[in-house]
Amino acid sequence: MANNSYPEFDSKRINQSIEAAHQSAQARMSKAPLSHETPLQDGSLKIAAQCISVTVENGQVCLNLPFGIGSVCLPIPPWVPNGSVAQACLDICTKWGIPCGVSVTVSVAGVNVVQQGFGCSC
């Protein structure tokens, strides 16, 4: 369940990223049929959706995530003081253009401090 006080990502930006992933998958499938010659093409794609500013509180960053995942809190290393402004970036994980999860990366002063995936891996 989502917590209304946590920051969240823009659904329009998420939908635009899903559409781009879908179009990419359609183009790949129409150009090269699956065969023994393309064993590394498993249809996985991670595509950026949006980055937002967040604040470290109580040693964590809490967010509302899409696709029914709801509210999550990610731990922030203790060397990052409470009150620090961080950036949380959302990537959409897809298989053949269909969203199956998300990955969230939180950075402080340009340094990635935590990354976690939810749903399928990407």
Tell me the pLDDT tens digit for each residue of 28-46.
766 655 555 455 567 889 9
**Distance (Å, whole) CA 83 – CA 56:** 5
In this prediction, residue 33 carries a pLDDT of 57
> What type of residue sits at position 81?
P
Do 62 and 71 contact (CB within 8 A), yes or no? yes
- Rounded to whole angstroms, the Cα distance separating 119 from 60 reads 21
| Confidence at residue 40, expressed as pLDDT on a 0 to 100 scale | 55
In the numeric block, the tokens 């590394």 are attached to 40
The three-point CA angle 98-20-10 to 5° equals 85
The list of the chain residues with pLDDT below 70 reads: 29-41
Question: pLDDT at position 120, please?
Answer: 86
What is the pLDDT at residue 67? 93
Q: Is the dihedral of CA 120, 122, 95, 14 positive or negative?
A: positive
Q: What percentage of residues in the chain have a pLDDT greater than 70?
A: 89
